[in-house]
Amino acid sequence: MPTSLIILAAGQGTRMNSDQPKVLHRVAGAPMLVHAMRAGAALDPDHTIVVTGHGADAVEHAAKEYDETAKIAHQAEQLGTGHAVAQAAPLLEGYAGDAIVLYGDTPFVSEDTLARMAEARHSHDLVVLGFEAADPGRYGRLKMSGERLEKIVEFKDADEATRTITFCNSGVIAASAATLFDLIAAVGNDNAAGEYYLTDIVEIARARGLSATAIACDEAETMGINSRPELARAEAAFQTRKRAAMLEDGVTMPAPETVHFAYDTYVGRDSIIEQNVVFGPDVTIESGAHIRAFSHLEGCHVSRGAVVGPYARLRPGAELAEDTRIGNFVEVKNALIAEGAKVNHLSYIGDASLGERANIGAGTITCNYDGVMKHRTTIGARVFVGSNTMLVAPVTVGDDAMTASGSVITQDVPEGAMAVARARQITKPGLARKLFEMLRRKKNQQDQGAV
Ligand code: UD1
Ligand code: CA
C-alpha cells in the first residue's frame, strides 16, 4: 500500500522549559524529529509532511536538512493533535494511499512495528499503535474489546476506572488518507483540554461502522518525550540499545556502558572501542580499527588498522587511511591522513593533507587560520616534520623532506629538502651559574627586608 507520513511537530513542549521547540532537542546527536523521520522513511513514503508551529522556521530547517523533499504544513495555532493533522489535508488532496501519523516527540518507533501496522491495515480501517505501560502516567488509554479498539480516552478526560487501564496510545495511527481527513473533520473540542484530539477519530470511526484495532509494541519504542528527565531517559534507552547492537555486530568494547554513540554511528566488526569514547554524528569506523580510551570523534572516517587515541579528537572532515596513528592530545580537522602516516603526540592538524608514512613530530601545529581566512597545509609522502614545527598555511612540504624541530615554516619546502626556520643557538659558558647566584642574593635581601 502506498503510504505518506504526517509528522506532528508544532507543539511548544511547555514541560521542556526551553526556548527551543521540543522536537529539536537532540537524542544521540539528532533532533528527536529526525529520529521520527528516519523511522518513517523505512516505509518509503510518497510524501513526508511535517506539521510545524512553534519555532516553525527552525523546525522546517531541521526537517529539510534531513530530507529536502519533506513538505511543510503550518499550524498557526496549536489547537490539538487532530487540528494539526488537518493542516496536512491540502497537501494530500486526492491522494489514494494510506497516511500514517507519527509524533515528532516519539522518536523510537521501529521499522518492524510500522511494517506490522501496515499489515494490520489489510483487515482494519484504522490501526493505532499501543503499548503496555509500566507507568501509564498521562498517556491516552486504549479501550479494547477483544481485538477491536472502541475508543481512546485522554488522561485528562479519563475517570478513575479508565485510568487503571495500562494499554496506552503511542500516537501512531494509520488509515487511508481519505478516511483519516474525513474523520478528523468531525472532531470537536469539547473536552478537558479544549483541544481537537486526534484520538477522537476512533470513536467517530466506530460510530460510522468502520473497524479499528490496536497493535502493541514494546514500550521502549513509544516513549514520548515531554520533559528533560524524559529526554535523559530516552538518551539512556537509545545508548543501551545501540551498545547491545554493536556488541552483537562484532565490536569489542571492554566497558560498553561508558561508550556514547550517535544515532548514525557505524563501526565495523573486529574493531575495538575502549572506555569513555564519545561519538558525535556522522562517524564511520571500518573493521579492525582501534579507538582508545577518552577519544572524541565526529564527522570522520577511520580505516582498517588505524589506532586513534587515547585522548584524541577527530573533528569533521578527518579522513584516516589504513594503518594510521593518531595519538594522545592530537586534534585532526578537515584533513586527509594517508596510509601509514603518524601524528602521535600533542598536535593540531587542520585543513591539511599528509602523505603516506609521513611522521609528524610532537607539538606540531598547522597554523590554518589567519584571523579571517582558512588555508591548507600539504605534506608529502615520507616527510619527517620535526617536533614543535609551526606550519604557517598556505604551505607545502614536498615528498621526503624534513623540517627541523622548533621551525616556523612560512615558505614551501621542496621535495627532499631540509628546512630550518629558527634562531641559531648561542651558548655562553658559566653565565647560568652567575645568573642563579645573582637572583638568589636578590631573594635573600628581599626576605630579610620582609622580617
Ligand atoms: C498525545 C496523545 C496521547 C498519547 C501521547 C503519546 C492526543 C490528544 N493525545 O498526548 O493519547 O498517549 O501523545 O505520547 O493526541 N502537536 C502539534 N500540534 C498541536 C498539538 C500537538 O503538532 O496542536 C504535536 C506536538 O508537537 C507533539 C505531538 O503532537 O509532537 C503530541 O502532542 P503532545 O501535546 O505532546 O500530546 P500528549 O499530551 O503527549
Ligand atoms: Ca507528548
Residue 393, domain CATH: 2.160.10.10
Asked whether residue 333 falls in the same domain as residue 200, the answer is no
Residue located via cell numbers 526537517: 63
Please give the pLDDT value at position 253: 98
Domain boundary residue among 222, 257, 290? 222
433 found inside a domain: no
* 35 classed as catalytic: no
pLDDT for 450: 77
Does residue 45 sit within a domain?
A: yes
pLDDT recorded at residue 12: 86
Asked if the structure places residue 351 within a domain, the reply is yes
Residue 71 maps to a domain: yes
| Number of Cα atoms under 13 Å in the Cβ half of residue 205 | 30
- Residue 163 has φ and ψ, to the nearest 5°, of -65, -20
Q: Are residues 214 and 245 in the same domain?
A: no
Give yes or no for residue 10 CB within 6 A of ligand 1.
yes
- Distance from C-alpha of 49 to C-alpha of 17, rounded to nearest angstrom: 26
> How many domains are there within the chain?
2
Ligand index nearest the alpha carbon of residue 13: 1
* Whether 153 and 30 share a structural domain: yes
To test the ligand 1 pocket, which listed residue (81, 183, 196) has its Cβ within 8 A of the most ligand atoms? 81
CA 226–ligand 2 middle distance (angstroms): 5
Residue among 35, 83, 290, 345 flagged as catalytic: 345
Concatenating the DSSP letter of every residue in 373-411 gives: -B--EEE-TT-EEPTT-EEESSEEE-TT-EE-TT-EE-S
Any ligand 1 atom below 6 A from CB of 55: no
Give the global pTM: 0.90
In a domain, residue 279? The reply is yes
CATH number, domain of 58, equals 3.90.550.10
In this prediction, residue 451 carries a pLDDT of: 67
pLDDT at residue number 211: 97
25, 16 contact by CB (below 8 A): yes
Domain range for residue 17? 3-222
Do the Cβ atoms of 170 and 106 come closer than 8 Å? yes
Smallest Cα–Cα separation from 326: which of 308, 352, 349, 353? 308
**Beta bridge pairs of residue 3:** 98
> Which residue has the least CA distance to atom 29 on ligand 1?
8
d(CA 85, CA 16): 23
Angular region, 159: left φ>0, alpha ψ -120 to 50, beta rest: beta
pLDDT value of position 1: 84
- Residue 185: phi, psi to the nearest 5? -60, -25
Q: Is residue 273 part of a domain?
A: yes
**Between the CA atoms of 244, 250, 253 and 255, what dihedral angle is there, to the nearest 10 degrees?**
30
Atom of ligand 1 nearest to the CA of 105: 30
Mean pLDDT, contiguous 10-residue spans, the chain (451 residues): 96 93 97 96 96 97 97 97 98 97 96 94 97 95 96 97 97 97 97 96 98 96 94 97 98 98 98 98 98 98 98 98 98 98 98 98 97 97 98 98 98 98 97 98 93 67
271 with 406, same domain? yes
- Only one residue has cell 596510509, namely 339
Residue 188 Cα, ligand 1 centroid: separation in angstroms? 16
Amino acid at 377: T
